[in-house]
Amino acid sequence: MTGMRIRLDRTICDGFGVCAARAPGYFSLDDWGYASLTGDGQVAPEDEAAVNRAILDCPVHAVTVLREPPWSEESRLRRAVRVVHRRPGRDERVDLRAEISQDHDAERTGSAALQFHDSKPGEWSCH
Out of 3, 15, 24, 39, name the contact with another protein by CB under 8 A: 15
**Residue 89 beta carbon to another protein: minimum distance, rounded to whole angstroms:** 28
Q: Which stretch binds another protein (CB under 8 A): 42-50, 53-61, 66-74, 85-93?
A: 66-74
**Residue 83 beta carbon to another protein: minimum distance, rounded to whole angstroms:** 16
- Residue 91 binds to another protein (criterion: CB under 8 A): no
Q: State how far the Cα of 30 lies from the Cα of 48, in Å rounded to an integer.
A: 24
Find the distance separating the first CA and the last CA of the chain, reported in whole Å: 32
Q: Which residues contact 15 (CB under 8 A, 6 or more apart)?
A: 29, 32, 33, 34, 35
Residue 21 amino acid letter: A
Q: State how far the Cα of 101 lies from the Cα of 104, in Å rounded to an integer.
A: 5
- Residue 59 binds to another protein (criterion: CB under 8 A): no
> Given the rule CB under 8 A, which residues bind another protein?
7-15, 30-34, 36, 66, 69-71, 103, 106-107, 109-110, 113-114, 117-127
